[in-house]
């Protein structure tokens, strides 16, 4: 009997209707209401299990499941079901309740078959452990967020009136200070020659009328060209271009220096005459070329990969 009970409970997890021949059918139905719109609560679907004593024909579902589980014939499975149904009918006629685990209890009332489902149903196995939770509306979330934010303060704009005379006067002073910083003092071979010293001067011109306002301007008067000392060739300094990074086309990476030296010899024998070893941070890499310009290195790498598709060359940026 326990075998038949187990198969009934198991089939209810996969099918909406399981018929026990000559006894009745267990029917699974779902409420389909996953959300309570009034309270904004989401909950798993409600599963209901009922019993219909009018459906008693043999559809073969229970017998086939029992035959596979017991590894017996279809006829033997039907004999087991008939024996189980006979025991259930006898128990109900004696006024007893017949309990089917994970399904419910069957009993007679006024010569009618009654069914009381269990609190834990096998057909509700996929929803086991799921509980309802609150999901508020978007409008409620926005209202609470806006209420928690501090009120926005209006930014005050302060206007400071400035006259054109003040701007012109400030600009003249700034130009004068800038001119004094830029104009160099004449030198004559590192010695101060008082007799040949020439000075650049600032001449303050009279104010001119401009749209009803007076505009003051400062004009820098350059010193005569013959008073400036000539620079000797030794004093001319050419800018030196410093290179902080080099770009290496790496064609092999080795764990130790002997292996790197052996690989370098192999590549040199194949025509990589410019190949060398770059050792840094405990790593030994064999590279084929080194560049100071990144663009040139990338162009060389693209062409190298086309010429040597078997070699997975890559670009390394190394600080000197």
Cβ distance 268 to 275 under 8 Å?
yes
Tokens, residue 109: 């009332």
Indicate the burial class of 224 (C-beta count within 10 angstroms; 0-12, 13-18, 19 or more). exposed
Measured CA to CA, the distance from residue 136 to residue 41 in angstroms comes to 8
What average pLDDT does range 212-238 have in this prediction?
48
Entry field: residues in the chain: 320
Q: Work out the number of other CB atoms within 10 angstroms of the CB of residue 288.
A: 22
Q: Residue 35 forms beta bridges with which residues?
A: 42
Q: Which carries the bigger pLDDT value, residue 170 or residue 248?
A: 248
Nearest in space to 227 (alpha carbons), one of 196, 182, 185: 196
The answer to whether residue 17 scores a pLDDT higher than 50 is yes
Nearest in space to 5 (alpha carbons), one of 90, 93, 94, 105: 105
The answer to whether residue 251 scores a pLDDT higher than 70 is yes
Measured CA to CA, the distance from residue 62 to residue 56 in angstroms comes to 12
Q: How far is CA 227 from CA 43, 185, 192, 232, in A?
A: 96, 11, 13, 15
**Dihedrals phi, psi of 220, to nearest 5 degrees:** -90, 125
pLDDT at 103: 94
The answer to whether residue 16 scores a pLDDT higher than 80 is yes
User: Under 8 Å CB-to-CB from 301, ≥6 apart: which residues?
Assistant: 249, 313, 314, 315
Residue 191 is classified by DSSP as B
What average pLDDT does range 30-53 have in this prediction?
73
Q: Which carries the bigger pLDDT value, residue 28 or residue 280?
A: 28
Nearest in space to 4 (alpha carbons), one of 58, 60, 77: 77
Confidence of residue 194 (pLDDT cuts 50, 70, 90): very low
User: Under 8 Å CB-to-CB from 259, ≥6 apart: which residues?
Assistant: 284
The answer to whether residue 209 scores a pLDDT higher than 50 is no
The answer to whether residue 30 scores a pLDDT higher than 90 is no
Cβ distance 107 to 92 under 8 Å?
yes
DSSP-derived pairing of the beta strands 283-291 and 276-280: antiparallel
Q: Which carries the bigger pLDDT value, residue 197 or residue 277?
A: 277
Dihedral through CA 282, CA 287, CA 293, CA 296, nearest 10? -150
71-88 pLDDT tens trace: 999 999 999 999 999 999
pLDDT at 197: 45
Domains, the chain: 2-134 (no CATH), 164-230 (no CATH), 245-319 (3.30.70.1070)
Confidence of residue 50 (pLDDT cuts 50, 70, 90): very high
91-143 pLDDT tens trace: 999 999 999 999 999 999 998 999 999 988 988 887 766 776 676 777 777 87
The terminus-to-terminus CA distance of the chain in angstroms comes to: 85
- The rounded percent of the chain whose pLDDT value lies above 70 is 72
279-306 pLDDT tens trace: 887 788 889 888 888 899 899 989 888 8
If you average pLDDT over every residue of the chain, what do you get? Answer: 78
pLDDT at 104: 95
Question: DSSP 3-state assignment of 154?
Answer: coil
The answer to whether residue 195 scores a pLDDT higher than 50 is no
- The rounded percent of the chain whose pLDDT value lies above 90 is 30
**Lowest-confidence segment of 23-32, 34-43, 281-290 by average pLDDT:** 34-43
Measured CA to CA, the distance from residue 254 to residue 282 in angstroms comes to 10
């Amino acid at each position: 009997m326990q075998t038949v009970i187990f198969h009934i409970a198991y089939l209810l997890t996969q099918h909406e209707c399981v018929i026990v021949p000559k006894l009745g059918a267990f029917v699974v139905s779902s409420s389909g209401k996953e959300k309570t719109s009034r309270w904004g609560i989401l909950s798993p679907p409600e599963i209901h299990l009922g019993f219909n004593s009018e459906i008693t024909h043999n559809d073969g579902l229970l017998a086939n499941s029992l035959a596979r589980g017991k590894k017996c014939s279809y006829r033997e499975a039907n004999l087991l079901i008939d024996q189980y149904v006979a025991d259930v009918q006898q128990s109900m006629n004696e006024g007893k309740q017949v309990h089917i685990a994970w399904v419910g209890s069957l009993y007679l009332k006024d010569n009618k078959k009654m069914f009381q489902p269990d609190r834990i149903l096998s057909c509700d196995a996929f929803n086991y452990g799921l509980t309802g939770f609150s999901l508020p509306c978007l409008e409620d979330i926005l209202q609470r967020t806006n209420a928690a934010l501090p009120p926005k303060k209006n930014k005050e704009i302060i206007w400071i009136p400035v006259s054109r005379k003040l701007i012109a006067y400030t600009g003249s002073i700034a130009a004068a200070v800038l001119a004094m910083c830029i104009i160099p003092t004449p030198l004559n071979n590192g010695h101060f020659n008082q007799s040949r010293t020439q000075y650049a001067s600032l001449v303050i011109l009279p104010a001119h009328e401009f749209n009803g306002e007076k505009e003051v301007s400062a004009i820098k008067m350059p010193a005569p060209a013959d008073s400036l000392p000539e620079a000797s060739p030794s004093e001319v300094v050419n800018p030196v271009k410093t290179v902080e990074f080099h770009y290496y086309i790496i064609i092999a990476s080795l764990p130790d220096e002997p292996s790197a030296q052996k690989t370098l010899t192999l590549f040199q024998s194949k025509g990589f005459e410019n190949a060398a070893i770059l050792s840094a941070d405990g790593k030994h890499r064999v590279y084929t070329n080194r560049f100071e310009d990144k663009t040139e290195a990338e162009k060389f790498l693209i062409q190298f990969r086309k010429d040597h598709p078997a070699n997975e060359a890559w670009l390394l940026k190394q600080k000197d």
